[in-house]
Amino acid sequence: MCTDPREHEETASCSYVMSQKVSTHPLTGKVDEGYRLQLSQRYTELMAKLKQLGYSMTLHPPFTEFIINTYGILKQRADSYSARELGYNSPDFLRRVVINAAPSKLLKDLLLLFSCLSFMARQDGKPLFLW
């Protein structure tokens, strides 16, 4: 799966820490090992799929942070009716927006992130954005 051993160690460590925190009962402090294992497996499978799409654990997390810090987040949410009417959850519409608005030097990685988000939305059976 991972060709760089450091990337595998970081992914495995991150997966373990996240699953440990999420699977700990808030009152008893006991870890639900079955749920932790399920979360860890889901994370590992998801990261393997994203890697097949071209996602890099070393490049894309800091790139995503750079994009958010540079361009910000939505200042105002669209209401669900407007979002639906304007096509804000249409992958084709949003891909065109990215292509038309993104600086050319960032386009390749932005489209890759968009493909990853689209894949995860399809896998979960959810829209790209929850308004």
pTM over 0.95: no
The answer to whether 110 touches 102, Cβ cutoff 8 Å, is yes
Mean pLDDT value of segment 78-88: 75
Do both 70 and 103 map to the same domain? yes
Q: Which residues of 56-72 are buried (b: 16+ CB within 10 A; e: fewer)?
A: ebeebeebeeebeeeee
Residue 100 confidence class, pLDDT cut points 50, 70, 90: very high
Domain end point (choices 16, 35, 53): 53
Residue 116: the pLDDT is 97
Do both 44 and 64 map to the same domain? no
- State the total domains in the chain: 2
Dump pLDDT digits (tens) for 38-65. Answer: 888 999 999 999 999 999 999 999 999 9
Do both 129 and 67 map to the same domain? yes
Q: Which residues of 44-54 are buried (b: 16+ CB within 10 A; e: fewer)?
A: eebbeebbeee
Do both 99 and 80 map to the same domain? yes
Residue ranges making up the domain that contains 38: 1-53
Do both 28 and 49 map to the same domain? yes
Q: Say how far apart CA 118 and CA 99 lie, in whole Å.
A: 15
Residue 13: the pLDDT is 62
Q: Where are the alpha helices (DSSP H) in the chain?
A: 5-22, 33-53, 60-71, 80-86, 91-101, 104-124
Do both 10 and 38 map to the same domain? yes
The answer to whether 88 touches 94, Cβ cutoff 8 Å, is yes
Do both 45 and 66 map to the same domain? no
Mean pLDDT value of segment 92-106: 94
